[in-house]
Amino acid sequence: MDKARVGIIGATGYAGAELLRLILGHPKAEIAGISSVSFKGMEISEVYPMYKTYCDMVLINQEDVIAKSDVIFAALPHGLSQEIAELCDRENKVFIDIGADFRLKDENDYIEWYGGEYRNKGLHEKAVYGLPEFFRSEIRGKKLIANPGCYTTAVPLALFPAIKNGLIELNGIVADCKSGVTGAGRAPTQTNHFPELNENFYAYKIASHRHTPEIEQTLSSLSGESVKITFVPHLLPINRGILATCYARLKEGVTEADVKAAYEEAYKNERFVRLCREGKTPTVKAVRYTNFCDIGLTVDERTGTLIAVSAIDNMVKGAAGQAIQNMNLCLGFDETDGLLTVPPIN
């Protein structure tokens, strides 16, 4: 079988470069074209010398990338994907959007949190939300996928079995999340200048981060009720990883054994979800460079609280890896193809 011809739009951003890494290692896909506005005409290995001899392809413009490809990934700031989606739709190509333009079902949420409008409502109806552990059957064979954000992957995976089995109260959920700095992208900023972030740590966009409505959309969809959460992200002085520490009140009478049984049942067939061994907790290092979500569970009997902690690599399961997982489902490949490279220990 010929390999799928893959194009990456925005290949020099961190998510784009991670997509490139994963496609270069994928047994059934190959790079057909890569684009960049800032570095057009340069070889990707001039921008990222680690790629030298692995991939020295020249960066071209996005139209040419689309023309050369069967599957297109876009890793762009929000607002720039709708036009690409229309073009791919017309030409019947698979489009997987790493950005936020197709994630929110309710246009009002998009208007409120992102400030833009939906240009082509029909396309938004076609778009499938690409969190495979919850929506696998909807993703299979589709051609327009909204790849979830990073926090919006970590938090629902931490809470799903408790919600599905009715173990927790749906109001009062707190998601205290901590992310490595690659999540903020490649463009230099004052706050992410090395001397400023190094040896620092703080919360940002407290109760006002754009991932809030997206997390709530997923939790509401899973529970069948409208769920509101308190979501506070923090910035870690490390490159990769998200740790989501989620708090929810347990319903009367629910035990730690109930909780663990629910999670084991819910995730027993999920190749990319690992429940921690007894007495162990998730670490961002254990999932670094992988598509795994590790989950640890504690019941605080003193206060009747479930503490569910999940860890993912924000660049992999939180972005490029999940996008490959979605591509595999869209194209009928094995869901794990290209996603099981053994990670380093440090």
* Interaction between residue 285 and its own copies (CB under 8 A): yes
Distances (CA, A) of 290 to 13, 18, 240: 19, 11, 11
CB burial class (10 A; 0-12, 13-18, 19+) of residue 332? Answer: exposed
* Interaction between residue 58 and its own copies (CB under 8 A): no
Among 11, 18, 33, 135, binds its own copies (CB under 8 A): 18
Distance in angstroms (rounded) separating the CA atoms of residues 167 and 158: 13
Residue ranges in 86-145 that form contacts with its own copies under rule CB under 8 A: none
Length of the chain in terms of residues written: 346
Among 229, 259, 262, 324, binds its own copies (CB under 8 A): 229
Distances (CA, A) of 293 to 27, 73, 179, 286: 23, 22, 14, 9
Among 241, 295, 322, 323, binds its own copies (CB under 8 A): 241
* Interaction between residue 196 and its own copies (CB under 8 A): yes
Distance in angstroms (rounded) separating the CA atoms of residues 149 and 214: 8
Nearer to its own copies, 92 or 342 (CB): 342
Binding flags for its own copies, 32-51, as an x/- string (CB under 8 A): --------------x-xxxx
Q: Supply the DSSP string of 87-128, one letter for each residue.
A: HHHHTT-EEEE-SSTTT-SSHHHHHHHH----S-HHHHHH-E
Number of other CB atoms surrounding residue 126 within 10 Å: 14
Angle at 284 between CA 228 and CA 131, to 5 degrees: 50
150 is catalytic: yes
Minimum Å gap between C-beta 119 and its own copies is 28
- Binding residues for its own copies, rule CB under 8 A, total 91
Residue ranges in 170-189 that form contacts with its own copies under rule CB under 8 A: 171-172, 174, 176, 178, 181-182, 186-189
Among 192, 220, 221, 223, binds its own copies (CB under 8 A): 192
Q: Which candidate in 150, 177, 293, 330 is catalytic?
A: 150
Minimum Å gap between C-beta 344 and its own copies is 6
* Interaction between residue 279 and its own copies (CB under 8 A): no
Q: Which residues are catalytic?
A: 150
